[in-house]
């Protein structure tokens, strides 16, 4: 299994070059094509605008949005040319997250940027919305940036759920690139995980030629997402792999909350599958 087509959300914002470089570097290592998707979005009027905009104003605003999309496409094409990566550009209308989800049906991986709630320059695409509607795994790149290689230490957040199983399978091409892989479980119970937590997924990965280290954390659970981010920092992980918006029978593994924490506070790229 590998990625042959990567869908990258592009826009005119300051964080776009960071995720573009990451997607192109990944495509170069996997001999994949990157599809740069720009959306014209929708016109958002300020609260209390007080009047319906004129047709002339709407047309001018739409022209501006289309020019921004065209400019983002041109920058992406030039970056792909410099790195000698096969590429394609698409410009579509509509709400950003819905457009990304619709365009992802015939690709292997989606790459989007994390939203920075403290910045007006944050990507318009909401990764959580993409996750809920797209049929493909989503690689979210932190707004603070990330090294382009994705070849270092990978941390798998394992709770034995359907979503986690899918995430591990979806992440195989990235795990093959990793120099080290750790499977971590937090407060596992014997009914869900068996006698040796993570042993089943470790055996699965071994069949795919990936050796892993198993780690079990026993800790008073406050926020699973925060615990994972702390452990990722301790390990020097450059990638986290996890299921998104799932629920296990163990009360402390409410992964919906962990997903929200990751999307809000991630410091490394996170591959999520739902």
Residue 263 has pLDDT above 60, yes or no: yes
Does the pTM surpass 0.85? The reply is yes
pLDDT for 254 beyond 90 = no
Alpha-carbon span 10 to 223, nearest angstrom: 32
- C-alpha 114/C-alpha 38 separation (Å) is 16
Distance from C-alpha of 224 to C-alpha of 164, rounded to nearest angstrom: 14
Q: How many CA atoms lie within 13 A of 78 on its CB side?
A: 7
Is the distance from CB of 31 to CB of 58 less than 8 angstroms?
no
* Closest by CA position to 273, among listed 159, 165, 160, 167: 167
Q: What is the pLDDT of residues 56-104, one digit of tens each?
A: 777 787 788 889 999 999 999 999 999 999 999 999 987 888 999 999 9
Q: Which CATH number does 153-269 carry?
A: 3.40.50.620
Question: Using CA atoms, how far apart are residues 102 and 109, in angstroms rounded to an integer?
Answer: 13
pLDDT of residue 208: 97
Tokens 């070059």 belong to residue: 17
If phi over 0 gives left and psi between -120 and 50 gives alpha, with beta otherwise, what is residue 197?
Answer: beta
Q: Which residues, in sequence order, are CB contacts of 96 under 8 Å at separation 6+?
A: 9, 39, 41, 124, 125, 126
Residues 175-198: tens digit of each pLDDT:
999 999 999 998 888 778 888 899
Write down the pLDDT at residue 95: 82
Q: Do domains 5-141 and 153-269 have the same CATH topology?
A: yes
Nearest to 274 by CA among 126, 133, 171, 113: 133
Residue 21 burial class via C-beta count within 10 angstroms: exposed 0-12, middle 13-18, buried 19 and up: middle
- Residue 44's pLDDT band, with cuts at 50, 70 and 90, is low
CATH 3.50.50.60 is the classification of domain 5-141? no
Structure tokens given for 89: 């550009």
Q: Domain residues of the chain, as ranges? A: 5-141, 153-269
Rounded to whole angstroms, the Cα distance separating 79 from 122 reads: 21
CA dihedral 59, 65, 67, 71 (to 10 degrees): 180
């Amino acid at each position: 299994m590998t990625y042959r087509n990567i869908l990258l959300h592009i826009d005119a914002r300051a964080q776009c070059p960071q995720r573009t470089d990451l997607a192109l570097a990944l495509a170069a290592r996997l001999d994949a094509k990157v599809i740069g998707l720009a959306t014209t979005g929708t016109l958002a009027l300020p609260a209390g605008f007080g009047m319906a905009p004129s047709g002339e104003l709407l047309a001018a605003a739409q022209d501006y949005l289309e020019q921004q999309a065209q400019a983002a496409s041109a920058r992406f094409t030039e970056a792909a040319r410099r790195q000698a990566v096969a590429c394609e550009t698409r410009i579509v209308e509509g709400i950003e997250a819905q457009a990304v989800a619709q365009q992802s049906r015939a690709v292997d991986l989606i790459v989007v940027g994390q939203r920075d709630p403290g910045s007006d320059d944050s990507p318009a695409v909401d990764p959580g919305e993409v996750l809920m509607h797209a049929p493909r795994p989503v690689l979210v790149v932190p707004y603070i940036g990330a090294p382009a290689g994705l070849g270092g230490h990978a941390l798998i957040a394992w709770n034995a759920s359907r979503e986690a199983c899918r995430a591990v399978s979806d992440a195989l091409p990235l795990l093959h690139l990793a120099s080290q892989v750790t499977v971590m479980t937090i407060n596992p119970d014997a009914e869900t995980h068996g006698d040796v937590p993570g042993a089943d997924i470790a055996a699965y990965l071994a069949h795919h030629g990936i050796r892993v280290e198993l780690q079990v954390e026993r800790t008073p659970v406050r926020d699973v997402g925060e615990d994972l981010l702390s452990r990722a920092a301790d390990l020097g992980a450059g990638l986290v792999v996890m299921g998104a918006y799932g629920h296990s029978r163990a009360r402390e593994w409410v992964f919906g909350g962990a997903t929200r924490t990751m999307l809000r506070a991630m410091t490394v790229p996170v591959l999520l599958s739902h």
